[in-house]
Amino acid sequence: GMSPYDAKLQFLLHIHQWPTFGSAFFEVKQSTESAFPESLIIAINKNGLSAIHPQTKDILGSWNFTELSNWSSGNTYFHMTIGNFMKGQKILCETAQGYKMDDLISSYIQYLKSSMQERESERL
């Protein structure tokens, strides 16, 4: 068999591959994207964003940060544009946690940029 330690390690290696591993989850209401239900869960982690069905927990869409062309937030909303400006998918979310979502995305992007710059300077 497997030792308890190895079993735990295998479990962590398995769940680490889940697209929502390490995510912060935000319950929002949206009416701009007809392919998604009105109530939606937005998951944000180091890999990007996912839209999740609140009942089935199915992942309806996933985007990495490079696909997120624009976003903004306020007291009652979070707005994001995925893809380019002309053919982009715009999703307006009603939420009181817009600032938190904005801050999290900005932090991840800042972190990714600085780690990319570190890798660039290591090559020189």
Q: Is the pLDDT of residue 57 over 90?
A: yes
Query: Taking all residues of the chain, what is their mean pLDDT, rounded to a whole number?
Result: 93
pTM listed for this prediction: 0.84
Q: Residue 84 pLDDT > 90, yes or no?
A: no
Does residue 124 have a pLDDT over 80?
no
Position 80 scores a pLDDT of 96
CA distances from residue 81 to 2, 13, 35, 43, 90 in whole angstroms, order as listed: 47, 32, 15, 16, 4
Q: What SS3 class is residue 73?
A: strand
Q: What is the mean pLDDT of residues 89-106?
A: 97
- Counting other chains too, the contacts that 34-39 makes at CB distance below 8 Å and 24 or more residues apart are 35/60, 36/60, 36/61, 36/91
Predicted pLDDT at 46: 92
Pairing of strands 24-30, 89-94: antiparallel
pLDDT > 70 in the chain, percent:
99
Question: What is the set of domains in the chain, with CATH numbers?
Answer: 21-119 (2.30.29.30)
Of the chain, the percentage scoring pLDDT greater than 90 comes to 77
Phi (first) and psi of residue 111, to 5 degrees = -65, -45
Mean pLDDT of 44-70: 95
